[in-house]
A and B are shown apart, each in its own frame.
Chain A
Amino acid sequence: EVQVVESGGGLVQPGGSRRLSCAASGLTVSINYINWVRQAPGKGLEWVSVIYNDDTTDYADSVKGRFTIARDNLKNTVYLQMNRLRSDDTAVYFCASGVPLDVWGQGTTVTVSS
Chain B
Amino acid sequence: IVMTQSPATLSVSPGERATLSCRASQSISSNLAWYQQRPGQAPRLLIYGTSTRATGIPARFSGSGSGTEFTLTISSLQSEDFAVYSCQQYNYWPLTFGGGTKVEIK
Contacts and interface: CB of A to CB of B under 8 A. Distances in A.
A74 interface: no
B100 A94 contact: no
Interface in B18-58: 33, 35, 37, 41-45, 48, 54
Interface in A44-101: 44-47, 50, 58, 60-61, 94, 96, 99-101
Interface residues of B, number: 21
Given A45-B86, A100-B33, A94 B96 contact: no
Given A100-B88, A101-B35, A107 B95 contact: no
Nearest to A101: B45
Interface in A3-44: 35, 37, 44
Interface string B63-106: 00000000000000000000000101010011111111000000
Nearest to B95: A47
B4 to A, nearest CB: 11
Contacts of B33: 100-101
Contacts of A105: 42
Nearest to A52: B93
Nearest to A103: B45
A102 interface: yes
B6 to A, nearest CB: 14
A44 B94 CA distance: 16
B97 A44 contact: yes
B43 A47 contact: no
A104 B42 contact: yes
Nearest to B37: A45
Q: Which of B44, B88, B94 has the most CB of A within 10 A?
A: B94
Interface of B: 33, 35, 37, 41-45, 48, 54, 86, 88, 90, 93-100
5 contacts: A44-B98, A47-B95, A100-B45, A100-B48, A107-B42
Task: State the 3 A-B residue pairs at the shortest beta-carbon distance, nearest first.
Answer: A100-B33, A47-B95, A104-B42
